[in-house]
A = this chain, B = another copy of it.
Amino acid sequence: MSRTQGDTKSKIIDLGEKLLLGKGFNGFSYADIAISLGIKNAAIHYHFPCKSDLGLAIIQRARERFKKWGANKETEQLPDRERLDSFFQIYRHYLTKRESVCLSGALETDFTTLPKPMQEETRGLVYDLLTWMEIFLDQGRKRGTFSFPGTPRDQAIIVLAVMQGGLQMTRVTDQSVFDLAVSQIRRLLKP
């Protein structure tokens, strides 16, 4: 009984992502997914022969999602500060909807235990984020929307590190910590 084309497969990626963000790559098993979706362990292996295949699919989808977000007409036409807030909203979303850290943060702490293909894809993800932010900050400073010392790359590293670290810290303190981090980094970028 195949309900909708690719239904189970995308459900596996959905749940896999949620579990990865919530418990780390070594913190969940195929059994967790199987039980939760009401299918058998082997059904997951059918779609993703190895766990690393699933991990890879999760990262690739996230990269594409970010790429689409960046290329989105609506997003592109936003004023710089609103576009920045829209970026922050991606991270804020992790917190509210998924009660989790961000993908890059989760993957980076597990990095040494990840299979090679996932490591490479993780590098790609971080490269995407850093590059986007660097260009965005550079343009913004030239336009006078943002102000910061050092190079756009320096500042891009800081901004991403704050998102990542902020989400993680929030987990052990309270939700306000992430929001405080966001408002502080916004202040620090003020012209």
Report A's interface with B, CB cutoff 8 A: 22-24, 26-27, 101, 104-113, 119, 122-123, 126-127, 130, 148-150, 153-155, 157-158, 160-166, 168-169, 171-173, 177, 180-181, 183-185, 187-188, 190
Task: Select A122's contact among B26, B160, B172, B177, beta carbons within 8 Å.
Answer: B172
Closest 10 CB pairs of A and B: A161-B165, A165-B165, A164-B165, A108-B168, A154-B184, A26-B26, A149-B187, A109-B109, A27-B113, A161-B166
Q: Contact between A154 and B126 (Cβ–Cβ < 8 Å)?
A: no
Task: Select A24's contact among B109, B148, B162, beta carbons within 8 Å.
Answer: B109
Known: A23-B113, A112-B23. A181 touches B169 (CB 8 A): no
